[in-house]
Structure 1
């Protein structure tokens, strides 16, 4: 049976969820990332950390597939093949964490993980690297983060900085990477019983999926006028606010 929503909360929840998906999809179309960054903390606040992240994973699959079609000519499939196999390796411990952690502690973990990874990409100078090890580390870390908190973008951004990955190819190749991560995360969490599909509110799922194409169309128009760096900065601001709110609620629950 689908998780019921109180009648007085449902309209506001749907409006906020729809807005988050459109904004996240616009940012992802502009800079290559954004859906997980914006949608994950928003849906985690609205639906709880387990259901919210699971729906984020589903949204990521849809958005990555549609945007990937648009940017298919710039996808670096060789890099994708280096990263993709390790996604499963990271997803399993991520799913086990989701299944074992208390709800409030999971909110704290998600908040800390989001803020920590963003600070790492913003403040830490990443030395140049090459070879298979950086790709293996990025794929594993991305799989874990995507499954546990719904956001793999920081891990991919660190890898891009370390390997001097050009923005156009980076933004395009992120789409099959995010799509694969989303599919693996859903399958692993559902398969291990860490995130029951029965708790997904059908109204929210339907609306969220329907908003993705709208965001992509708007994002295509915005991408012609707004640099990718600006889109990335907007995503960072939004995810910081959401992560701090989630962290605060989690700490309140743990302490109280």
Structure 2
């Protein structure tokens, strides 16, 4: 079937295509409002070396080069399963990602929180910021690091408002619309194909009932079929019933008379 024939067939079945597309669009809109959006908040924290690691009067931001390994350790500790489980228990459905910001060369910790509400994302982000400071101090307490030589962590950026994430909603809407459209076109194509096959059979049926061709019933054909094999037998019975004289030929009659 050509593409143009398919389009024309769908146009003929507009009473199926149009309502089907309207239903698919309605379901897609309903999916958009039924699926709530997610909210994303992030924060970055910077490790600062201790006072003894900086020359007197020096700029601490010029001595960040050796703190990248310490930032990796801090990220691993804060992002551990034990810490995250405590957060998830209080706020189920939260997605937390803690990593070192690879877009910069400095020892920067990146915290990203995704939640179903902006308030939950804000609360969890604040909790993790405080947790980073606590974990860093615990590490240095274990090693008995003097206060004047301790690393500190300071916030660099903290989102004041969550960013709405619509990716999941968009995927759901697109999926519902696609499935609805495919089902609509499939049903319309099936109906059109069935109608086409019925139209193709109609000329053959009309040819059998034209005025010049007398229809033969099944019973008449069967009667003829039964009568035909029995015809020779009937002729044999008729021959047998004739008199003997009638069955003899002209040449055989004088001999028959002489015997009589």
TM-score after normalising by structure 1:
0.25
Which of the two has higher C-alpha Rg? 2
Normalized per residue, the structure richer in strand is: 2
